[in-house]
Structure 1
Amino acid sequence: MVEFIQTNMLFKQILFGCLLILGYLVIKRLGRRWIEALADNKRVSFKRTQFVVKAFNVIAFGLFISFFLIILDVGFGDVSIFLSSIFAVLGVALFAQWSILSNLTASVLIFFVFPYRIGDRVKVAEKDEDISGVIIDITMFHVILRHSSGNIITYPNNLILQKGVTKLVAQPSTQASSPALEAKQ
């Protein structure tokens, strides 16, 4: 009888494990399609799209492993000790590199919520400098602008989320002549 219960429990674990793997693969595929469709809609570069897809896959894999360990009935104490050790090492390693990590995180946020796209003319609210121009690229670490003077400005992603950004509209040319004005001359 005990052997039957253990076999039945093992069968359930295998069944739930297979369903979890199938669910993981479906979520991974649907997530990738959704991110790529969003990237096409926002005219995002291929490299940046691949970065966001990889970040999504890492998070999905972490959740998959967590659920898989729960299904295998691995003790919470064992897993928590292992994860706390990993996070302690990562925390110490990344503390010195916080700006890199914040720029990468800001890149993902810009991908999903930044209201401006490549080709838009914007001005960043910076009191000391004229940070304005046309967005020519949004990379993992910088938003790249072409200033009206022709200069290229690279502005860090984490700062562009902290500053006010104004979308500039094309101003009508004051030099343009009208047929009525030409007739008077």
Structure 2
Amino acid sequence: MMVQLGLITLLLVAYVILSRFLKSSVALLGRSKSVNEVRITYVSRMLNLGFTAVFVLLVCLVLGIGYGQLAIFFSSVFAVVGVALFAQWSILSNITASLIIFFGFPYRVGDWVKVVDKDDEILGQILEISTFHVIIQRLSGDVVTYPNSLILQKAVVRFDNKEAAQAMSQFKTEKEEAEKVKVEKGASLHN
């Protein structure tokens, strides 16, 4: 019994230390990528939830709860969660994509990007990367919320600045169209 208490105490100390290290590492990475504080907190909590599940599993093993009993418990939990999330698969995939984007997405808030999509031109500045969407403000001023799971599946082009993005746009802004009409009218008056 004393050995079990000692192991549980050791696991608890390791859990606290590693949990703090995980939280500070995520915060440091998030700040280096200029990520919103709310998003840093969200990612930190999601990872801490998984870390806590591993801790509880290890404590159960130290207490002598058999693999069979743990397997039945976890398979029951996963079955209930799986049935609950089956209808909302896209939500689960967007949450997972949100974590992938946090750690591996090469674009940041403020970058000018174009999502290569054959149906629509999604070209603009990233305003926010949230739990479910990447929010992009187009050149025309309207805002597009693009699902995280889809942006990982599409090619994304990053531009150095707004002018480079405008040069690649299929559509011209109203100001450019007005200048084009003005130039055409001036050319027809001289002829």
TM-score, normalized by length of structure 2? 0.83
Q: Does 1:84 align with 2:79?
A: no
Q: Which residue of structure 1 lines up, in the alignment, with residue 109 of structure 2? A: 118
Q: Does 1:95 align with 2:86?
A: yes
The AA in structure 2 aligned to 1:139 is S
1:156 to 144, 147, 150: 147
- C-alpha distance in structure 1 between counterparts of 2:37 and 2:108, whole Å: 14
SS of structure 2 residue aligned to 1:144: strand
Deviations 1:85-126 (A, max 9, x none): 111111111000001111111111100000000111000010
1:61 to 47, 52, 61: 52
Q: Number of matched residues?
A: 166
More off after superposition, 113-122 vs 162-171: 162-171
SS of structure 2 residue aligned to 1:162: coil
Q: Which residue of structure 1 lines up, in the alignment, with residue 170 of structure 2? A: none
TM-fit CA distance, 1:137:
0.5
- C-alpha distance in structure 2 between counterparts of 1:112 and 1:100, whole Å: 19
Q: How does 1:1-185 map to 2 (within 5 A)?
A: 10-170=1-161, 171=163
Q: Which residue of structure 1 lines up, in the alignment, with residue 183 of structure 2? A: none
Q: Which runs of 4+ in 1 moved over 6 A?
A: none
The AA in structure 1 aligned to 2:59 is F
Q: Percent identity?
A: 44
TM-fit CA distance, 1:51:
1.1
Deviations 1:115-163 (A, max 9, x none): 0001110000101111010111100011011111111111110000000
Unpaired runs of at least 5, structure 2: 168-191
The AA in structure 1 aligned to 2:11 is L
TM-score, normalized by length of structure 1? 0.86
* Larger relative contact order (Cα-Cα within 8 Å, sequence gap ≥ 6): 1
CA-atom RMSD, angstroms? 1.7
The AA in structure 1 aligned to 2:19 is K
- C-alpha distance in structure 2 between counterparts of 1:169 and 1:46, whole Å: 25
Deviations 1:47-82 (A, max 9, x none): 211110111111110110111111111111111111
